[in-house]
Amino acid sequence: MLDTIAAISTAVGEAGIGIVRLSGKNAIDIGNSVFKGIKDKELIETSNRRLTYGHIIDHDNNQIIDEVLIAYMKEPYTYTKENMVEIYCHGGIIPVKKTLELLLKKGARLAEPGEFTKRAFLNGRLDLSQAEAVIDIIKSKTDKSFQVSLNQLEGSLSSQIKGIRNILLSMIAHIEVSIDFPDEDVEDITYEELERDAYKVKSNIEKLLSTADRGKILRDGINTVILGKPNVGKSSLLNAILRENRAIVTDIPGTTRDIIEEFINIDGIPLKIIDTAGIRETDDIVEKIGVDRAKESLENADLLIAVFDASRDLTKEDMDIIELSNSKKSIIILNKTDLPSKFTKDSIEELVGDREVITASIAKGIGIDVLEKNIKDMFYSGKIDIESDTVVTNIRHKNQLEKSLKNIDSAIEDIKSMVPLDCVEVDLRNCWENLGEISGDTIGEDILDKIFSEFCIGK
């Protein structure tokens, strides 16, 4: 067992309870050294997986720190596979903080972000993709993204990756036998057999990759930017969408304090709208956050919503916006159609090519439902069955799958032109390793550190 780590595992602030956790070889000793049950010498050790009532006490000065429930969980059937102790303090900053400080004084080390989960991985309870699912569950913003992450934690992705790697391993083993014992009786693997198996690998990788775009959206939301010259109705549109989809989960502070992202949940599709402070008065993004930042959010956008005002003549600015929106998935809204129009829907349709133009009167609530339906159709065309499908949501996994696809493609080319088997083997091995980095079977320390540093402390 590794050294003993401690951390506050619940959000710090006013709350009913706050939980402090310990994991590692001295968890029980340290836990006992700060605990006093009602029967004077009650050892938490005797209470595997049961809650014991008592107090946290600093025995050095006999000071009571908090009234608590404490649970001891014996290895290996714990989150980390190590001995663990959980202390249920009163909520609020002081009880948990003082309890933690006492544990540190007694020899525990403050856990790094995600270190409990990292141990679950290092001790073989979870593979890496499952460990990563834990953070996605914590951060999930819609029921669907939660469900996908839960599937991943249950091992849906792991088992697919394992299946593909097993095919590769068997190919590699056959090749090695053919190379090592060319004259023996063992039957050599044929190029036909290799080709058949390689295509199996390829199609499985492609199947996973095909879910990645929707997976990213489920996990991170559709990056949406609303474009339009001043006064066309951008703020009104944002407010209308917000009103109808109240399930806003969080405001996530961006890199600077003046830009925030708002999450809106449209029937399970999270829309992440770039918002600037005071967006409701003047949401000219360029003016608010500067040309560079605006360009950046445009570059990162998955969806542009371009708004035009039918009651005023089209201007050069409108043309620029049409031009901008050509480069991305975009939805065109012709607003203020309740007022006398200065130009027709046809004339703007000519300018935007084959994109549909939604006629709207945002102020009167007309057109919002069509917009939402369009968004759903756009990103959910090949509807995924979340209950049964494995969805790749993690960009790291996607990158690894792409690498593995390159390597299997190159193996297939080699096989087709019947190059010597040891060359084929190199590609197969690379492919096998690429996939192993998803499950964490082959992975460097630096990548591990980076992955777990994204976690919160105490998980």
Binding footprint of Zn ion on the chain (CB under 5 A)? 234-235, 283
Listed in sequence order, the residues at least 6 apart from 382 whose beta carbon sits closer than 8 Å to its beta carbon are: 214
Give the nearest distance from C-beta 230 to ligand GDP in angstroms: 5
Q: Is 313 annotated as a binding-site member?
A: no
> Nearer Cβ to Zn ion, position 26 or 235?
235
Over the window 277 to 296, marking each residue x when it contacts ligand GDP by CB under 6 A and - when it does not, the resulting string is ------x-------------
Alpha helix (H) ranges present in 261-362?
285-299, 316-325, 345-351
Q: Which is nearer to ligand GDP, 293 or 336 (CB)?
A: 336
Alpha helices, DSSP H, located in 7-67? 27-34
Q: Interacting stretch for ligand GDP, rule CB under 6 A, among 1-9, 85-93, 161-169, 233-241?
A: 233-241
Specify whether the CB–CB gap between 37 and 117 falls below 8 A: no
Task: Tell me: is residue 268 an annotated ligand-binding position.
Answer: no
Could you say which of 33, 47, 231, 359 contacts ligand GDP (CB under 6 A)?
231
What tokens appear for 328 in the block?
Answer: 């991305």
Name residues whose C-beta falls within 8 Å of residue 398's C-beta, 6 or more positions apart in sequence.
Answer: 209, 212, 215, 216, 392
* Residue 232 binds to ligand GDP (criterion: CB under 6 A): yes
Segment contacting ligand GDP by CB under 6 A, of 82-90, 92-100, 226-234, 385-393: 226-234
420 preceded by cis ω (within 30°)?
Answer: no
| Helix residue spans in 417-444 (DSSP H) | 421-439
Based on CB atoms, which residue is closest to ligand GDP, 234 or 272? 234
Would the annotation count 276 as a binding residue? yes
Task: State which residue, 198 or 301, has the beta carbon closest to ligand GDP.
Answer: 301
Q: In degrees rounded to 5, what are phi and psi of residue 236?
A: -60, -40
Residue 426 within binding range of ligand GDP, rule CB under 6 A: no
What is the C-alpha separation between 368 and 305, in angstroms, rounded? 12
Name which of 248, 240, 218 is nearest 335 in CA terms: 240
Contact code string over 306-335 relative to ligand GDP, x by CB under 6 A: -----------------------------x
Task: Round to whole Å and give the CA distance between 191 and 421.
Answer: 9
Q: Using the 8-state DSSP alphabet, how is residue 364 labeled?
A: G
Give the total residue count for the chain.
459
Per the structure block, which two tokens stand in for 392? 């790749």
Closer to ligand GDP by Cβ: residue 26 or 235: 235
| Contact letters for ligand GDP, residues 345-374 (x by CB under 6 A) | ----------------xxxx----------
117 near 131, Cβ under 8 Å? Answer: yes
Has 182 been labeled as part of a binding site?
Answer: no
Residue 219 partner contact from ligand GDP, Zn ion, none using kind-dependent CB cut-offs of 5 to 8 Å: none
How far from 440 is each of 364, 399, 444, CA to CA, in Å? Answer: 53, 14, 9
Numbered residues of the known binding site for K(+):
231, 250, 252, 255
Annotated binding site: 21, 86, 125, 231-236, 250-256, 275-278, 459
Residue ranges for the known binding site for Mg(2+) are: 235, 256
Contact residues for ligand GDP (CB under 6 A)? 228, 230-236, 283, 335-336, 338-339, 361-364
